[in-house]
Amino acid sequence: MEKALVKINNLFVEYKSNKNIIGGEKIIHAVNNVNLEIKKGEILAIAGESGCGKSTLAKTILKLEHPKSGEILFENKNVLNLNHAEVQEFRQKAQMVFQNPYASLNPKMKIIDILKEPLEINTGYTKSKIEEIVKEKIKLVGLDENCLNLYPHEFSGGQRQRIAIARALVLDPEFILADEPVSALDVSIQAQIINLLKELKEKYKLTFLLITHDMSVIKYLADRVAVMYLGEIIEIGRTEDIFNFPLHPYTKALLNAVPKFNKQDKKEILKGDLPSSENLPNGCKFHTRCPFVMDKCKKFEPVEKGGTHNVKCFLYE
């Protein structure tokens, strides 16, 4: 079995919300006791509705948010305790591709400068070595080196996302965190970017954390899936197990929300909205929406069972 590149232990992330009308401050519990391993060379997807904590988890792994408590180990070192030199090394090895390629590329910079910038900041490479790397990476994402002298507005959304991916690749990272990498793109070009990510993973043995609400993207790309609800991982397993034998009622509802050609399929539609992260329900956090809720679900929290297909639900005790 592949070793873990990233290991997350008992991670909690909280925010203070703005004062409410009677002056009190509320705590938003964005990530609640997450334990997770991302193995070298795999694509692990985090699935869940918006507001479930998946983007906060991603940003915390990359040190863009600070957790309340817990550990994030990258190559067995806790990224929360790195010294300055180690942080720089971590920033080279772990890169992010953002959702919106229109906002993530500086409109005032030429593509060549956008791609050179991380190399100039993080390496002592010569000018010619930097240009060589930039040309190599732009070709790697399927663009011609002639485009290096153009500005972001001269490209389509799909081409901009390719440029954003090239920027993530220039430092030869081991780990890429892709946050909704295709959701801002036209459906017609989503497949091209999805195929590019798959190719990069297979050719260069890159490790990905894929954050998306789109179950069809997950089915095509991911090796394993972790399903997140109100800041907790409530089910995790290999992609084929999650799609063929989903266990948690929330996972089943997410999968049933994916359009199917067979209209005879019985749908379990999610009832109600995601509860607020300020007032987390007691017991199982899904109990306010679960069609199978029992008395004990309202009082006690189900625990993980362990194993390759792991679920937190009293139905599988």
Instruction: Assign 3-state DSSP to the chain and report helix, strand, coil percentages, each to 5.
Output: 40, 20, 40
Q: What's the Cα-to-Cα distance from 85 to each of 6, 79, 81, 94, 142, rounded to whole Å?
A: 19, 12, 12, 14, 33
Residue 278 phi/psi, 5-degree rounding, is: -80, -35
* Position 233 contacts ligand SF4 (CB under 6 A): no
161 Cβ contact partners less than 8 Å away, ≥ 6 residues apart: 97, 101, 181, 182, 185, 193
Residue 23 phi/psi, 5-degree rounding, is: 90, -5
Taking CB under 6 A as the criterion, which residues in 298-317 touch ligand SF4? Answer: 302, 313-315
CB 71 within 8 A of CB 9: yes
Nearer to ligand SF4, 118 or 249 (CB): 249
Instruction: Tell the smallest beta-carbon distance from residue 284 to ligand SF4 (Å).
Output: 3
User: Looking at 216, 294, 299, 305, which residue binds ligand SF4 (CB under 6 A)?
Assistant: 294
Taking CB under 6 A as the criterion, which residues in 234-263 touch ligand SF4? Answer: 248-249
Burial 79-92 (b: 16+ CB within 10 A, else e): beebeeeeeebbbb
Q: 72: how many CB neighbours lie within 10 A of its CB? A: 22
User: Looking at 292, 299, 303, 305, which residue binds ligand SF4 (CB under 6 A)?
Assistant: 292
Instruction: Tell the smallest beta-carbon distance from residue 116 to ligand SF4 (Å).
Output: 50
* Position 280 contacts ligand SF4 (CB under 6 A): no
* Position 229 contacts ligand SF4 (CB under 6 A): no
Q: 51: how many CB neighbours lie within 10 A of its CB? A: 16
Binding residue count for ligand SF4, defined by CB under 6 A: 14
Stretch that binds ligand SF4, among 9-17, 74-82, 85-93, 289-297 (CB under 6 A): 289-297
* Position 286 contacts ligand SF4 (CB under 6 A): yes
* Position 297 contacts ligand SF4 (CB under 6 A): yes
Nearer to ligand SF4, 204 or 292 (CB): 292
Summarize as ranges the residues that interact with ligand SF4 (CB under 6 A): 248-249, 284, 286-287, 290, 292-294, 297, 302, 313-315
